[in-house]
Structure 1
């Protein structure tokens, strides 16, 4: 195993250490307003414009706590709840029921807009009743902007990881009385309905919004420390920060989570909370889930990193990638830590045709396992064995799921020893999982919840409830021809040397032709030259303690990265170089870079 790095102080790195709180700079001169000062500034703008203050909240924001803060900051203002104009709860529930389905995990992607959840006549009536010094608050407050004159708009935004943590603690979905509902069902409602509607809505406001507030920091019992009071920035600062982020390297804020199979590698190397039993996942680059920390005068403000994808899709993704996927970040990097833990669930991901027809997603979760670190007994389960009886395997999976006897994985599934820096391709439809004592950098397409568990080794979740197994979906997607011979020929040891010059070796590391992600590994001792070539690059420093990304033309300030950190190079960057720093102690370095095949300008 790698030598552990000592504990970190308050999440920030010292030299060569993984940074859990990376930041993106606000434009020069922009300030973060805190608490009452921010609301007074927004109210002053509204008063100067002669209109209402519309405070639009992302579903999941603690609206009662927010209302209390505004009432305290603006004692002479009238506060109106826009959700009084929403359609009755039962009517909304009936409307979205086909998207939620009866399944515990999976629904169907919705195409609702927020106006579908509101009574337009009631909105108009509400707009007509607004007088001076009025705050309209709630998800949908900005719907009144077209019905009132000179309104000032505020977005109170929130990252999905924070919403999930609050739901686990008893928070409900929007206007739902479900505090004790299964967390997977709460998440499903958010993933398939609420967040899709909310993202369409807030994206339409980005060009004109007057202020943006950090909804992650709004809670009933606010800490007294100034740094923890919710921050507010102007819309111009918000737009300027996102333009800057799309022009230079940056990192999103990683999110760590425990799991039944979780390990100890991240805890020891990154310096996470030692009191936790384990950490299983790290969403190191999943912009749908992660945050951006915008830093400036007044500290930091946290916004969803997805806001950058929505606001700067061409600059971030590149024209070709944007035209193919829309404003969606298609590449995901995350960690799966089973060091001193257990096997992942035996699983399969849906084929593209299946995920489109069944769930309404337009592409699927092709993926790969890159082994950052391994124990002596590390293995990867991949593909079915030659000549197995398919019906017998399905019967044995059903028997295992019923609790009659364990599934004999060794009878049906290939097991391959795993070494550090091995890279296993896993196109959708291939049965797979990582075994215990592995530290996996998972590189995959973004639709990350579409995992059909086939066998979970007889475990229950951290909540004591058996984790969901989807044999019906899984059996329909297993590609039985992905047997030992096919896996050996197509998925194992697929490393080709692209170029070798001076101290740089560039390798293609093996994602299958069925997968749209291309990966390149660069070994170097001093530095290696790169170019985005018109598409977003996602990179992890998989070997070496510390490096920096520099611009040959000085277009951005040098950007320092540390071992195991994932970072994003926007398409707009163009040429760049990754090189050792003067503080580096490592003898050699390696980066693993991913991008969308066929999206480079040189692919024309």
Structure 2
């Protein structure tokens, strides 16, 4: 039975390091013991030949440090850096991906390349022959080590040194380069672009093909970590990895949230979520972005291995997403929840997201960033900028935006854009193509489609980024995607205060709060005092506790252990769960509870 880690916090206390249990009997191995076991598997499998241990690594892993650890643990083994031996020269790789990277600071075109296109085929073949004939225990290390091992025809033990994208980005901010690139001082946005559009796409294809063959998974995020006091790097068996993820797809779970400051960041999360009070602000919390977040896999003794939460999506897409959602999106988590904190801060940039046709033909994404703002909290003066005003002169507005971009004069946003008063629990719908921004003194739960990178800033209130560089504005992209018919009347009718009561009985009120019919996400809000019954309907559910201190999720059939959720926590209920109940806990002090639940419209079992 899948089990959740127990909560030892006060009611309502946000948990910043949620864990997912490893299967019974699985253990996190560390240090020389871990590598000795990997070497033993390689030796047993060699069947009289020289043993071969393959350590394939996600780009961004600290290979020099991993090599040192292996050398200390296995001094009699010969270590070969596959990247140094067979990767193409950096300038050749740069030329091959130039069309994907483009000249833009932020946006590129998604790559469909495979890892072998970054390697010299003849050198791979030669290295395979050398390794096979070496006659001594050998470790192959690097992103692409499996490419060489498969060419040898010899049996081997396979380790994946894996890490999440957020950790990679933290290392890049500290000076780390992209894979084999000479860019330690390059603009961070360009580093992320290279990862997002090329490296991470290629790496995910490569590692997904290895999942069924993995003997061990190494926590590469703990080796050379960006954290000031990194934990001891752990390793789990491939069976524990696969079974742990299969179990995770059968019960409620949370991914590990991460927090980031911003030029417009506020103070609400710092206080409510118990964050570092010495930081000037927190702008973002990515509480459910499986492409970026981590999962913490925990054994019975409390030892932890950190892996990308994307591994769950890639390895268990049908159980997690549901067959109909998987058929529509593939192994991609389509719903994103995150926080935007401007309480005591400033306005977000005035922006627009690309229309579906535009994002497909310009960037290679197959769906776009439709979204919405749900107000977790709001000051008395809070507003949401949304839609153009009635009778706006299109050319005059664009001319004023260009003048503002050139620094001639500030853009008068409220001359052209509606500013709607915003209060706690309001929900504003923002289909792609709609000009929008959250004003100051708001705490927004952003419920949106996943392609989070595709924001065209139109005006950023004349600010510099935290790095002292002007934040990128994309007027050319923006003006091609603005839907000018979304004026005051249309916006008020379609995007503001669209709450529809669906039922009110037995102490439970169910409401539909959005999203707009052009968007694929359906959001339901439930108010209750004791409990409310749900059913995934065969598609993944993403929820947040927007009111009340603490609830628990239980299975009517006992399929999983009760799972505790605190105020403002986002949680995932996999499609495979089916029926579940959310109820107050025995120690809850709140009189009323509220959740918002997002799912993919048209994919619930029984829907047309």
> Same fold judged by TM-score > 0.5?
yes
Q: Counterpart of 1:292?
A: 295
SS at match of 1:521: strand
Partners in 2 of 1:108 and 1:381 — Cα distance? 30
Cα distance per residue 1:520-578 (max 9 Å; x no partner):
00000000000000000000000000000000000000000000000000000000000
Matches within 5 A, 1:177-576: 177-219=182-224, 228-297=231-300, 299-576=303-580
CA contact (8 A) 2:171 2:225 kept: no
C-alpha deviations, 1:38-76, integer Å up to 9, x for none? Answer: 111111111111131110010000111111111111111
Would you say the 8 A contact 1:380–1:432 is kept in 2?
yes
Greater Cα shift, 70-79 or 186-195 = 70-79
The residue that corresponds to 2:80 in the other structure is: 80
Shift of 1:297: 4.0
Kept in 1: contact 2:38–2:157 (CA 8 A): yes
Give the stretch that moved more between structures: 211-220 or 508-517: 211-220
Contact 1:32 1:297 in 2 (8 A): no
Computed over aligned residues only, the root mean square deviation of the Cα atoms, in angstroms, reads 1.3
- The residue aligned with 2:25 is 29
- 1:238 counterpart SS class: helix
Quote the Cα distance in structure 1 between the aligned partners of 2:127 and 2:143. Answer: 15
Indicate if the aligned counterparts of 1:332 and 1:443 stay in contact, CA closer than 8 A: yes
Whether 1:123 aligns to 2:119 is no
Q: Any conservation in 1 of the 2:167–2:226 contact (CA below 8 Å)? A: no
Counterpart of 2:365 in 1: which secondary structure? coil
Equivalent-residue separation in structure 2 for 1:173 and 1:240 (angstroms): 32
Taking structure 1 as the reference length, the TM-score comes to 0.97
- Per mean C-alpha deviation after superposition, the further-off stretch among 121-130 and 254-263 is 121-130
Counterpart in the other structure of 2:60 = 60
Provide the secondary structure at the position in 2 that maps to 1:539. strand
Q: 1:129 to 1:235 in 2, by over 3 A?
A: same
Specify the SS of the correspondent of 2:273: helix
Alignment deviations for residues 324-376 of structure 1 (CA, whole Å, 9 cap, x no partner): 00000000000000000000000000000000000000000000000000011
Cα distance in 2 for partners of 1:427, 1:384 equals 14
Q: What SS class does the counterpart of residue 98 from structure 1 fall into? A: helix
1:99-126 C-alpha deviation (Å, 9 max, x unpaired):
0000000000000000111122211211
**Equivalent position SS for 1:228:** coil
- Whole-Å Cα distance in 2 between the matches of residues 482 and 121 of structure 1? 57
Query: C-alpha separation between the residues in 2 aligned to 1:171 and 1:283?
Result: 22
Q: How far has the Cα of 1:228 moved from its partner?
A: 1.0
The 8 Å contact of residues 42 and 53 in structure 2, kept in 1 or not, is answered as: yes
Q: Distance in 2 between matches of 1:206 and 1:431?
A: 42
1:165 aligns with 2:170: yes
Taking structure 1 as reference, are residues 542 and 220 closer, same or farther at Cα in structure 2, changes over 3 Å only? closer
Q: Which range moves more in the overlay, 28-37 or 254-263?
A: 28-37
Q: 2:181: which partner in 1? A: 176
Kindly indicate whether the alpha-carbon contact (under 8 Å) linking 1:331 and 1:445 is maintained by their aligned counterparts in 2. Answer: yes
Contact persistence 1:222–1:229 (CA under 8 A): no
SS at match of 2:252: coil
Structure 1 regions of 5+ residues with no counterpart? 1-10
Judged with a 3 Å threshold, the aligned counterparts in structure 2 of structure 1 residues 12 and 257 are, in CA distance, closer, same or farther, namely: farther
**Aligned-residue offset at 1:222:** 10
Matches within 5 A, 1:103-142: 103-130=104-131, 131=134, 132-142=136-146
Unaligned segments of structure 2, at least 5 residues: 1-6
Deviations 1:8-46 (A, max 9, x none): xxx973332100000000000011011222111111111
Q: Which moved more, 1:27-36 or 1:244-253?
A: 27-36
Whether the 8 Å contact between 1:65 and 1:220 is mirrored in structure 2 is: no
1:44 maps to 40
Alpha-carbon distance in structure 1 between the residues aligned to 2:514 and 2:223 = 45
Aligned to 1:262, the other structure's residue is in SS state: coil
Count of residue pairs brought into register by the alignment: 592
Name the SS of the counterpart of 1:458 in structure 2. Answer: coil
- Quote the residue 2:4 is aligned against: none
Q: Structure 2 CA distance, aligned partners of 1:19 and 1:122?
A: 49
Identify the residue that residue 5 of structure 1 maps to in structure 2: none
Quote the offset at 1:220 in angstroms: 8.2
Give the structure 2 partner of residue 3 of structure 1. none
Deviation at 1:144, TM superposition (A): 2.3
Partner SS, residue 241 of structure 2: helix
Cα offset, 1:393, TM superposition: 0.3
1:329 counterpart SS class: coil
Runs of 4+ residues deviating >4 angstroms? 220-223
1:151 CA displacement: 1.0
Q: Secondary structure at the match of 2:213?
A: coil
1:499 offset after TM fit, Å? Answer: 1.1
1:12–1:19: 8 Å Cα contact kept in structure 2? no
